[in-house]
Amino acid sequence: QSVLTQPPSVSGAPGQRVTISCTGSSSNIGAGYDVHWYQQLPGTAPKLLIYGNSNRPSGVPDRFSGSKSGTSASLAISGLQAEDEADYYCQSYDSSLSGFVFGTGAKVTVL
């Protein structure tokens, strides 16, 4: 029931920069609601990575950055490291659902 679309997979070599897109609609991202990003390592709970489109919680490396424009958002990982291999989810609020919506998830592979 995901209403935010992400690419299923993204890959890059160590040290490279990768980006993950998150496409929504006029009832969520396009309506002005913020986008948040989570990192889910295998077998663990999601962890907040970016909140309010571009803010990093304490402890999150500045290699991770977020942006939003129109009905889409992006997460960028620069200086890719092996420990960044994980699933990444975007999330926003949807006015038509009056609730949270998550992205389809993107798996990042470090080559």
The contact set with other proteins (CB under 8 A) reads 1-2, 33-34, 36, 38, 44-48, 51-52, 57, 89, 91-93, 97-105
Angstrom distance (rounded) from CA 96 to CA 50:
24
Q: Which is nearer to other proteins, 52 or 70 (CB)?
A: 52
Q: How far is the CB of 68 from other proteins (least distance, A)?
A: 13
Q: Would you say 45 or 111 has its CB closer to other proteins?
A: 45
